[in-house]
Amino acid sequence: MMKVERSVIINKPVGDVFAFTQSMENYTKWQGDVDSVKMEKGPDNNVGSTYTEVRKVLGKELKTTLEITAYKEKKKWAAKVVKGPVPYEVTMSYESIPQGTKIITTVEGEPKGFFKLAEGMVAKSIEDSLEKDFEMLKKLLE
């Protein structure tokens, strides 16, 4: 089982940060590995809605469909893979703090096949991606 967790503080109110990060049209702006995102079922961010994203991991293009499993305005968003090569769940928690907003992102999964063999590299790649994504998020919002 693989688990990666990273956090960042953004010097903006939680409402602004939540709205920006949860707008699917912004995913490609701040998530460097994401090439495209398309809603499949339901409106943005309703629990049970699904979307497909295309991203690059370890130089491989991955097409993954995720289902939104939690959505609480300004507090939490979560999704799990329902179709794709790497089963995982991702959770983003938001906290209003005196400096602005603290985001904690957790990715948990059980890689299979090639990705199981390269689990350590996959975890490191996710850690690096989260760090770069958070740097871009700070640049865009602060």
User: 49 lies in which domain range?
Assistant: 2-141
Q: How confident is the model at residue 47 (pLDDT cuts 50, 70, 90)?
A: very high
Task: Give the phi and the psi of residue 67 in degrees, each rounded to 5.
Answer: -115, 130
Q: Compute the distance between CA of residue 32 and CA of residue 123 in angstroms, rounded to an integer.
A: 16
Contact (Cβ atoms closer than 8 angstroms) between residue 12 and residue 101: yes
pLDDT for 119: 61
Tell me the three state secondary structure of residue 74.
coil
pTM over 0.85: yes
Contact (Cβ atoms closer than 8 angstroms) between residue 107 and residue 33: no
Q: How confident is the model at residue 118 (pLDDT cuts 50, 70, 90)?
A: low
Report pLDDT digits (tens) over 61-107. 889 999 999 999 999 999 999 998 778 999 999 999 999 999 999 99
Total number of domains in the chain = 1
Handedness of CA 107, 108, 113, 114 (dihedral sign): positive
38 burial via Cβ count (<10 Å: 0-12, 13-18, 19+): exposed
Helix (H), strand (E) at residue 123? helix 119-141
Strands (E), the chain: 2-10, 34-41, 50-57, 60-72, 76-83, 88-97, 100-109
CATH number of the domain to which 83 belongs: 3.30.530.20
Contact (Cβ atoms closer than 8 angstroms) between residue 57 and residue 86: yes
